[in-house]
Each structure stands twice: as structure tokens, then as C-alpha cells.
A and B are shown apart, each in its own frame.
Chain A
Amino acid sequence: MKKFLAHYLLPHTGNNHRAKLLHNSTLIIIIAVLFSLSIFSMHERRIHPDILGISYSISSQELIELTNKARADSGLPPLSINQSLSTAAQAKANHMFSNNYWAHFAPDGTSPWYFIKNSGYGYVYAGENLAKGFTTSGDTVNAWMNSQSHRDNVLNKNYSDVGFAVVEGKLLGEDTVLVVEMFGSANTPAFAVAPQTQTPITTIVPTTPPENTVQGEQEEKIAEVEVIPTVLPVVPKVMAVVPQNSASFLSSVITKPVIDLQKVSGSIVFIIMLLFIVVLALDFAIIERKKIPRVVGHNIDHIVVIGLFVLLILLEKGGGILGL
């Protein structure tokens, strides 16, 4: 065993002064094995997603809790889950999947506001955050909070409602989970669906706003709503103001396959790459010390490219965000 390891990991006369792992023939075998594993896992994932797949845990409930926690940390009132905004978010997600685009505005020019208006939510202020490729609610909200424009949306004091859609599908050639977060502030009472005992907001907002009000007037009403933070402490630790009949519009994607392909492939690749870096460094150090001439590539070149790839594996979270 010791001889076998030395043969594969260290340069000596028996392997022509080049660790066997770094021989072109060994590299070809490792590449073939990794390629076969990739094809096998892509194939198996489609046939047995319950056994081999990605572990997802994203739900509207967690997203609203994390969003409101971030707002509470900044001294802002919590957002209420709104059914119309959730419907708008769902429609937007479906539109993105069916038209295969990743943007706020569809290729045909359809804006996010179209979906909000279509859902029947009359807004004064509205915003949209998008995310895809994240596996947990925490990673999704963290990504938004680490980006200024998304953070501005989450912490915007003009918003009082929010709606989420968490949808799994194929977008731009890759299987992913798309999260659409629609923010809004209604010119009609958005809190009407919430039980009045959960929030004092309904006591401040007029229940029947005058029809055909102009934009300026609507904004004045919003200004009234913004007085709410002084009232809110009356309801302690309300992270998510969710109406009791909200289950129907709270979407989630929660999967737990037997083998989490993302973690397994990440670990295998990480170990192989680290092994190559160590063997290349040892090979370089030993040969430099012995001053043995060889016809091989520059080990430093290979260490740099593999090292940066390892860094990429560690830094890359595999998700993307968009905010408007």
C-alpha cells in the first residue's frame, strides 16, 4: 500500500520521476471517470429524483419570516403576505418559465407591474426581487440582503405587503427553483384579508377608499400608513402577519433526495482537486531539490489554475438575483 501510494503521489525512478497521478494516461482515466459520473448523475436524476437530486428547502413562510426579521432589525414594520401579490408573483414565475427568460421585463416588453395589476392589486408603490438557483430560503434572502438594490426593496418603508412564488422548473436550459418576491403598497386596504386581531393596521387605514382618487391622494393615504411603526409594538414578536386562510397561496419547494447530488459532486471534485494541488506541489518541490531534468509542463501553471478553480467552487453559490 505504501509503495502504491508513493508510486502515485511522489516522483521517483520507478515512475520516471513524475508522480503517476500526473501522468497523461492517469489524467485521461480520471477525466473519463468524472465524465461518466456526470452523464450517469444527469440521467439518474431525471429517472429517480427522489434518490439522486438536489435538496431544496425554500418556502414562502420562511421567506416572509426572514424578510420581516431583516426589516425588524432595521426598525421597520413587518410586511403582510398578500394573496393578490402572491398570485402576481406566481403569474410572473410561470411567464418566465413559459417564455424562457431571466429578467424583470419579458422579451415582449411585459413588465412586472402588468402581473400586479392583473392580480387585482391596486398599488401605489411596487417592487420586485427575483432569485434562482438557491437551495434554501436563508441563502435566497442573504443574497438579496447582500445586494444594495435588493436590500433597498426589502427595507423599503413604503411597502406594506409582499407576495411570494417559489416554483421549480427548467429555465435557460437548466433545472432550477425560481423565487419571485413582489412588494407593494395598496391604494385599497391590503390588510382586509388579515384577521383584525393580528394587527392594529386596519384601524388606521380607511376601509372604503374613495373611488377614482388621483395618485397624489393615494400617496397621502400611504403616508398615514407609515405612522404605523409607533403602533406596532403593541403586537410583540409578530414576524409574519399571515392571514389564517393563507395556506393556499403560500408556495414552497422542499425536496430531500436520498443522495444530495450537489453536495456529493462538490465533495468529490473538491477532494480530487486538492489531491492534485498537493501532488503537483510535492512533485515540484522534490524535482527542484534533486535538479532532475524532465519534459513536463510547468507545475506552477497547473497549481494556479486548479487552485483558482477550488476557490471558485468555494465562492460560487450557484444562484442569481435580480431586483427592481
Chain B
Amino acid sequence: MKQKQLFEHHAFYFFELLMLLAGFFLIIIFSYSVIIQFMILMFVLMSYITLGFIHHHINHDLRAKIVLEYVLISSLILVAFLFLNSSRL
């Protein structure tokens, strides 16, 4: 059982890494348009929150506080991206 949980953990991290890598790769590809980049980043971060939600739900430790933490980490990245590109907007 413990080994199964460990596999699920690793599978989640692997899937998350793949999803984030694909998303950030797309952001580099679309470097000519900050608006497209912003939209891709929003989609990637929403997927990140959803994955975190599912991961904790499967582990039976999903709490509102945890969901808020994922939302805040995503917001931090989104705002950091906005600040980074404030010279272009």
C-alpha cells in the first residue's frame, strides 16, 4: 500500500513536471507576444492548482487552506510575470 502511494506521488510529480515544462516551453516559443505568454501562463497555473487539488484529494488531506496556498503560489508567479513585463505593457 505504501509503495502504491509512493508511486502515485512520483507519478503526480512527473506529470506536473511534464505539464509545466510544456507550458513554459510554449511561453518561450511565444516570446514575441506578452499577451499570449500571459494567457499560457494563466492556463499552466490553473492546471497546476487543479493537479495540486487532485493530488491532495487522493491523499485525503485536502483543506481549504491548502487550496488557498496553491492559488497564492500561482498568483505570486503571475504577479511576478506581470512585474517582469511591466516595461512592455
Contacts and interface: CB of A to CB of B under 8 A. Distances in A.
B33 A305 contact: no
A287 to B, nearest CB: 14
A235 interface: no
A175 B28 contact: no
Interface of A: 24, 27-28, 30-31, 34-35, 37-38, 41-42, 45, 53-54, 102, 132-133, 172-176, 261-262, 265-266, 268-269, 272-273, 276, 295-298, 300-302, 304-306, 308-309, 311-313, 315-321
Contacts of A309: 24, 77, 80-81
Contact of A316 (B16, B27, B80): B27
Contacts of B56: 297-298
Contacts of A295: 61, 63, 65-66
Contact of B31 (A28, A300, A320): A320
Question: Which of B28, B35, B52, B79 counts the most A-chain CB atoms under 10 A from its CB?
Answer: B79
List 7 tightest A-B contacts by C-beta distance, closest first: A320-B32, A27-B72, A261-B87, A297-B69, A38-B83, A41-B86, A34-B79
Contacts of A305: 16, 20, 45, 48, 73-74, 77
B39 to A, nearest CB: 12
Contact of A28 (B24, B72, B77, B80): B72
A308 to B, nearest CB: 5
Q: For this complex, into which size category does the number of interface residues on chain B fall? A: 35 or more
A313 B16 CA distance: 19
Given A132-B32, A316-B27, A31 B72 contact: yes
B84 interface: yes
B21 interface: yes
Given A102-B33, A295-B63, A295-B65, A30 B76 contact: yes
Contacts of B81: 309
B79 A312 contact: no
Given A31-B79, A34-B79, 10 more contacts: A31-B72, A31-B76, A37-B86, A54-B87, A172-B35, A296-B69, A305-B16, A312-B24, A316-B27, A318-B85
